[in-house]
Amino acid sequence: MRVGIEVGGTFTDLVAGDGSRVEVIKVPSTPASPDKGAFASLEAAGPGDIVTLAVGGGFGDPAKRSAERLREDQADGIISADRAASWASSRIAAE
């Protein structure tokens, strides 16, 4: 089964398909913690064999995140140290 997840500001959408059928699930997003919406959509889909998982974000510009959130993203393995430093330095330069 292939699964795609799009995390938006209001809803998180999951589309799952196995070549013969497609299922669409929509759950509320949690903007303060986008991962919760993604996991909620997977839980709503129920058990199954996920072969490919594609996740996309749609909530805000990551380069405008606070330094604290950049550190959290780096600690969680969402972004690299280089990317966090690049975004943080571009924000400081703009201010």
How far from chain centre, in Å, is Cα 76?
12
Q: Average pLDDT in the 52-72 region? A: 70
Is the same domain home to 49 and 3?
Answer: yes
**pTM check: above 0.75:** no
- pLDDT tens string 3-52: 888 888 889 999 888 888 888 999 998 888 888 888 898 888 877 766 66
Phi, psi of 72 (to 5 degrees): -65, -45
Range of the domain at 50: 1-59
Same domain, 79 and 36: no
DSSP class of residue 76 equals: T
21 in the same domain as 4: yes
Number of domains the chain contains: 2
CB atoms within 10 A of CB 3: 20
Co-location of 39 and 69 in the same domain: no
pLDDT mean over 64-80: 78
Reply yes or no on whether the pLDDT at 90 is more than 80.
no
Structure tokens at 54: 């594609």
Which carries the bigger pLDDT value, residue 7 or residue 62? 7
Between CA 36 and CA 92 the distance in angstroms is 30
